Amino acid sequence: MTEITFTFNGTGIAASGGESLAAALTAAGRREFRVTAGGKPRGMFCGIGVCQDCLVTVDGTPNRRACMTGAVDGMAVETQPAFPGLCLDAEVPDIPRARILTPDVLVIGGGAGGLSATIAARRAGAEVVTLDERTVPGGQYYKQSADGSLLDAQQAEGAALLADARACGAEVIGGVEIWGAFDGPLILAESGGSALIVRPRAVIVATGAYERPIIAPGWTLPGVMTTGAAQTLWRSYRTLPGRRIVVCGSGPLNLQVALELAEGGAEIALVAEAAPSPFLHPLRGARCSIHGPALAWKGLAMLCGLRWRRVPVRNGLRLAAVEQSAGGLSATFRRMDGGTCTVRADAVCMNAGFEPQNEILRLLGVRMTYDPAVGHLRCDRSETLETSVSGIFAVGDCAGLGGAPAACAEGRIAGCAAAERSGHAEGRDVAADRRALRRHRRFQNALWQLHDVSPTPLDSLPGDTILCRCEEVTVADALAGYAVTPGHLGTLKRATRIGMGHCQGRYCGPAAARLIAEHTGEALTDRSFFAPRVPVKPVTINAILSFEEALRGDE
């Protein structure tokens, strides 16, 4: 691996080629990347390009996500101010030619579901293009190492899947930011400043999920991050988020990542699981092992591994607040009996479930139904995983939480069906995949009974708790805004600026939708959430020039 150097605010930082800026900076002990309009420091939070709190200025260009930008030798990286400067003598840049693609099947997202769909559709004879936001596809479950090394069986399985997808003749393109989805379907994406315009016959959306945070005082402090962000640091870049770490929230990911980080040499000060101990509900545990003996065994092995490493795993603890203290963070937890305990650490990792990345599906007008069991929208789908819009398929977590094995089975089913849609009917038998899918779904249902991802009601939080990270809108602001203009989420957004920032409402949106539902007593539906809008992710103005030329020629 090549050793390189870049500067951060003038100081040299060593990194290895392929490493993200966020990983290299974290390894160097730097975690404050940008400053908000309110003067507060922020750093990496989600680690997967969603929260936009890791923005830095790179070689004079502002608003680059440190977690998605690779370190390059000689780069000048700077803390991003709230109001970056404009280059007044800038000229219109040379406009790169757009690439126009018209595959039979477009797969959006190269994770477990997307890669499986790619292979199935291609093997059925369809011409397939697969796009993924990360430079190295693989998704959240198979998270690949930047340097190609393999940490364990999970990464090896992902590497094999990716190699299969490439070998079967599909075009798999990494480092692509999809920002537009329009009827047609017409998909607009950007790759390194040039335009990618895709007019496929069928689309398989496999955009996965992002993590539901714990909204509590201090959740915006640098050093507080999602569990997945810590996992990306470790699995992709072999960097630890800190020396002493607290992991909290609910769900199996927290256990797995705590164990991985401990094996990587971190001291795990505490794993706090919100749900009561599974030993209080032996039946629920038993149900898990019936529906998924292998996965239940894996879970048990994780717990044993943690115990063997003397990592304290405590049930019934909810994060109450994180504070900055001399030399680190201190996280306070509330026990079920009302008592509290405080733990010091230099990184606090949180995961309280998942939110589907369903923006593209919603933009395309796909019908969704709210699932109260997991607290998010699920996409209505047929047996073949086609959505309510003909030719648009959805697989994996973007359609509603299901886990990686289910995503793989769904990908294979939808891949065949989408190929058939576009005239390639070498129909493979998917009966075995259907059976596997049913099994995985039963396991998931049983699994989430052991956890508790119910969010803390916003009303019970201190008023100065930040609700909207980007616009720094507090819980009190939101409640006051709601009192002046009750109604729906759109009204609250316009009254308070909630959801108007960089992350486009991905974290505050679901929480605010729940707040309104609690107040109105109405059930949540698709319309309770922010209306879907392009761009799906912020898109650079200069990059749009290349789309204009191509779309104009198109007409």
Ligand X SMILES: Cc1cc2nc3c(=O)[nH]c(=O)nc-3n(C[C@H](O)[C@H](O)[C@H](O)COP(=O)(O)OP(=O)(O)OC[C@H]3O[C@@H](n4cnc5c(N)ncnc54)[C@H](O)[C@@H]3O)c2cc1C
**Residues that bind ligand FES in the complex, under the rule CB under 6 A:** 44-47, 49-54, 65, 67
469: Cβ contacts below 8 Å, ≥ 6 apart: 42, 45, 51, 53, 220, 501, 503, 507, 508
381: Cβ contacts below 8 Å, ≥ 6 apart: 387, 393, 394, 399
Query: Could you tell me the smallest distance in angstroms from the CB atom of residue 394 to other proteins?
Result: 21
DSSP 8-state class, residue 70: B
Tokens of 421: 């849609």
Which listed option, ligand X, other proteins, ligand FES, none, makes contact with residue 65 (CB within 5 to 8 Å by class)? ligand FES
Compute the distance between CA of residue 228 and CA of residue 232 in angstroms, rounded to an integer: 6
Compute the distance between CA of residue 523 and CA of residue 379 in angstroms, rounded to an integer: 17
CA–CA distances in Å: residue 244 to residues 54, 212, 223, 256, 320? 22, 23, 11, 17, 19
Q: Is residue 403 a contact residue for ligand X (CB under 6 A)? A: yes
Q: Is residue 180 a contact residue for other proteins (CB under 8 A)? A: yes
Task: Out of 208, 213, 249, 285, point to the residue binding ligand X (CB under 6 A).
Answer: 208
**Which of 88, 283 has the CB closer to other proteins?**
88
Task: Out of 495, 511, 512, 515, point to the residue binding other proteins (CB under 8 A).
Answer: 495
Q: Is residue 131 a contact residue for ligand X (CB under 6 A)? A: yes
Query: Could you tell me the smallest distance in angstroms from the CB atom of residue 131 to ligand X?
Result: 5
Closest by CA to 53, choosing from 193, 175, 226, 233, is 226
| x-marked contacts with other proteins along 181-200 as a string, rule CB under 8 A | -xx--x-x------------
- Specify the stretch interacting with other proteins by CB under 8 A; choose among 175-183, 222-230, 345-353, 430-438: 175-183
Q: Is residue 317 a contact residue for ligand X (CB under 6 A)? A: no
Query: Could you tell me the smallest distance in angstroms from the CB atom of residue 506 to ligand X?
Result: 11
| x-marked contacts with ligand X along 144-183 as a string, rule CB under 6 A | --------------------------------x-x-----
Query: Could you tell me the smallest distance in angstroms from the CB atom of residue 429 to other proteins?
Result: 39
546: Cβ contacts below 8 Å, ≥ 6 apart: 95, 96, 97, 98, 193, 194, 195
DSSP one-letter string for 347-396: EEEEEE-EEE--HHHHHTT--EEEETTTTEEEE---TT-B-SSTTEEE-G
Tokens of 435: 């059976």
**Which of 340, 525 has the CB closer to other proteins?**
525
CB 547 within 8 A of CB 535: no
**Which of 209, 550 has the CB closer to ligand FES?**
209
Q: Is residue 358 a contact residue for ligand X (CB under 6 A)? A: no
CB 523 within 8 A of CB 543: no
Q: Is residue 485 a contact residue for other proteins (CB under 8 A)? A: yes
Site size toward other proteins (CB under 8 A) is: 50
- Specify the stretch interacting with ligand X by CB under 6 A; choose among 30-38, 58-66, 208-216, 547-555: 208-216
| x-marked contacts with other proteins along 502-521 as a string, rule CB under 8 A | x-x-----------------
Compute the distance between CA of residue 326 and CA of residue 218 in angstroms, rounded to an integer: 15
**Which of 15, 206 has the CB closer to ligand X?**
206
Closest by CA to 170, choosing from 204, 221, 220, is 204
Q: Which amino acid is at 262?
A: A
**Which of 188, 416 has the CB closer to other proteins?**
188
Tokens of 544: 């749009």
Tokens of 139: 């998704």
Which listed option, ligand FES, other proteins, ligand X, none, makes contact with residue 485 (CB within 5 to 8 Å by class)? other proteins
Binding site for ligand X (CB under 6 A): 48, 108-114, 131-134, 137, 139-141, 176, 178, 206-211, 228, 231, 253, 256, 354, 357, 396-398, 403-404, 407, 536
